[in-house]
Amino acid sequence: MEADNLRTVTITSGREPFSLLAGGSLPEVTIAYETWGELSPARDNLILITTGLSATSHAARHAPGDEPGWWEAMVGPGHPIDTNRYFVVCTNVLGGCFGSTGPTSVNPASGSPYGADFPVIHVEDMVQAQTQVLDHLGVERAFTVIGASLGGMLAFQWGAQEPGRAQSICAIAAPGRSYAFSIAWRAVQRRAVTADPAFQDGRYEPGHGPVAGLNHARAIGILSYRSAEEFDPRFGRDWDEAAGCFAVESYMNHNAAKFGTLFDANSYLTIARSMDFFDLGRGAASYEEGVARIKSPSLVVGFTSDLLFPLSQQREVVEILRRAGRPVRYAEFETIYGHDTFLIEIHRLGALLTEFFASVPSGGQA
């Protein structure tokens, strides 16, 4: 995350406390975000990127010397999310630990970090906070809200909750509600965190949290994000002499080892639980009616090898939208890269996004 380009807005400034869907409120809410490109004179070219569980707001470089972003090949001049044309915004979610209000933030009532006392957050709350970032930027309606995984849930929720504020949505590798199998994956990940003695029921000192538990949770997550179709030919039974273990173990250890020092455990639990609670049917007479609240043109993308949110869950949303007469486009990628395909097959996904953006009847050039 590039600190020089990280911006924050206190969305509760001069307002009432931020009310939460689960009850209660937060007296002060700050949201961190980054931007690329220029807002058009008509203020109609904003693309909001909504992130997954662990991503920061740093989706791409701002200048050649910057650290690469997590969607580097997708966002930038001449890229599918073209910053020569679009004003791109990416926020850190409410409950996060990269600049937005979350468990590491100071509770004004106590003068200490919220920690384990941070309230339950729902995807609806995250969307509400993001709408107020748009208010701060003076933008009434986003050209597109796009995201994958939790970011795809957020994109769906934008369409249902804020139908007048998103000209279109793109939901990638996401369901319309969480089902038992993905909840089970996250339950095991949470157990890895809470079983670490350093967790201390969530009341660890800042900087002294359950690093090992978070690393284990990340390793479990990686298994749900990739596939046997990729791992078996990629690693086989190769032995890593330097590491003294199988090559696939070395890969898992390397990718998990840095996570625990970067992410806060209480934030991880908060965001993961918000994914469990996600349901477009909440507040509607039925799930189908909840999904049908999405009226904007939608692009829904699924991946054949996605273990976490399988194709049946994207197809379910698309079928409901089609029965309701909503404008929706659907694409399935035959791929071995699992849930993480959106980070890997940039060329295929980028071509699809470019085609979809061209079909949306708004979004002027800056």
- Find all residues with CB under 8 Å of 351, minimum gap 6, and list them: 80
Q: What is the dihedral of CA 222, 177, 160, 105, to 10 degrees?
A: -50
Report d(CA 295, CA 103) in Å as an integer.
34
CA-based radius of gyration for the chain: 20
Q: What is the 3-state secondary structure (H, E, C) of 116-129?
A: HHCCCCCHHHHHHH
| Extended strands (E) in the chain | 7-10, 18-19, 25-26, 30-36, 46-50, 75-76, 81-82, 87-91, 106-107, 112-113, 144-148, 169-172, 239-240, 245-246, 298-303, 328-333
Active-site residue, selected from the candidate residues 57, 100, 105, 149: 149
**Residue 117 annotated to the active site:** no
Active-site residue, selected from the candidate residues 44, 125, 196, 306: 306
Beta bridge partners of 166: 142
CB 298 within 8 A of CB 170: yes
How many other C-beta atoms lie within 10 A of the C-beta of residue 158? 28
**Residue 306 annotated to the active site:** yes
How many other C-beta atoms lie within 10 A of the C-beta of residue 106? 12
The 8-class DSSP code of residue 205 comes to P
Active-site residue, selected from the candidate residues 82, 296, 339, 340: 339
Beta-strand pair 7-10/245-246: unpaired
**Residue 135 annotated to the active site:** no
Residues with catalytic roles: 149, 306, 339
